[in-house]
Amino acid sequence: MANRQCEFLHGCAFTLFINDEEAWNKIKIMFCEGDYLKCRRYKRRSKGFVVPLELWPMDNECLSESVYQIKFSLKKFVEQNMEIFSEFKETAEFSKFLKSVMDIINSLDLSEGQRRFFLKFFGEFYEELFIKNFNEDFFIKMVHFYEKGEVGASVFDPGFLIYTTNLFESFYKWLTKSSFTEEDKLELLSVIVKFVNFANSFFKKNVTMLHDLNVCYETFLKLKQQEKEIYSDSLTGVYNRKYLDLLVGRFGKDFNFLIFIDLDDFKDINDNFGHDTGDIVLKEVGNILRTSIRANDVAVRYGGDEFVVAVDVPDKGVAIEIAERIERLIKNMNIKTESGKPKISASIGVSGVSCTIPLTDNLKKADKALYKAKDMGKGKVYFIY
């Protein structure tokens, strides 16, 4: 069902966090340009609340909110002790640890996508976490890599356990050879364990959200296909009359003008040029309507050669302009047959929508404007409030 676009779409910071065009397009289709009222980010921002960068549209909270203080203190500690973490990375213990992990990964029975994921993830994990002090961009990119590589928890969790166990052991061995006090050694080891676990929680949380997004998107597409089969007119490609019943509560709120279109002397086209030509005309009118209105507006085949367009525009002048453009495009249709070229025109009525009266009364008002247009002659547009 077509909805209005989220007023906060332009400038939404989540596109910077998700950092993936395919995932962002899915979010836009389902939320920003679809049912944005269900978006958690929209709900917060519309109430004037702070919207965390990493809050997913379908999630109630993000990791940074629930453990913000832990994240802040860990990052601060790592920053203050960056020389120590950098020094460990240059040691023989680190090289030996990383090589052993890579050898294990290469020995496992993994798909090519899974192997490439692990080699990149574990090859850069320490630097992105401790040298770059939790580079979120890296972990989000790896979330997408994880999903596309079909890694899965049953493969990732044992691999991550192998990596972290060897990392902690190597770091501890290096600390025992250092001149740090026992208290400093314990604090450093504690922080490296906590930061690794935090990064893992952040990673797994976003893996879950991306997976949920993809599942939701697949369901969304299936529902849209079902909706199309139920509510679309197979000949013209616009919605059928049954779809109007779904819009009852939206008139006066999401749509403020109705455009009622009737093809002039359409029966003569069928009689003189055949019903196949008539179908071609109707199909082309459907194309004109779908390309002449915005994504949030709705075009409906009301019956036979009658169409209704519901729009949300600033004033009647814009509504009349849309109607006049549709009238010109229909008049300029170039359909040739063996019997010649049929003359095609449309009479169009435009009326304002009132949310205080039933849909049927709004349609009657637009229909009244249509008949006023017909009284003026073929190919005319008439407006009434």
Q: Which tokens in the block code for residue 118? A: 């692990």
Query: Which phi and psi angles does 203 have, rounded to 5°?
Result: -65, -50
Q: Which tokens in the block code for residue 232? A: 């679309």
Annotated catalytic residue, options 233, 305, 312, 367: 305
Distance CA 75, CA 129 (A): 9
Q: Which tokens in the block code for residue 48? A: 């004037």
Q: Give all strands (DSSP E) within the chain, no chain letters.
A: 257-263, 298-303, 306-311, 346-352, 381-384
- With tokens 């070229």, the residue in question is 341
Q: Give the burial string for 83-111 (b: 16+ CB within 10 Å, else e).
A: ebbeebeeeebbeebbeebeeebeeeebe
**Quick check: is 305 catalytic?**
yes
The interaxial angle of helices 68-80 and 82-89, nearest 10 deg, is 70
Q: Cα Rg for the chain, rounded, in angstroms?
A: 31
Taking alpha carbons only, the member of 345, 353, 154, 167 closest to residue 253 is 353
Taking alpha carbons only, the member of 174, 173, 142, 137 closest to residue 159 is 142
Running DSSP on this structure, what letter comes out for residue 129? I
- Catalytically annotated residues: 305
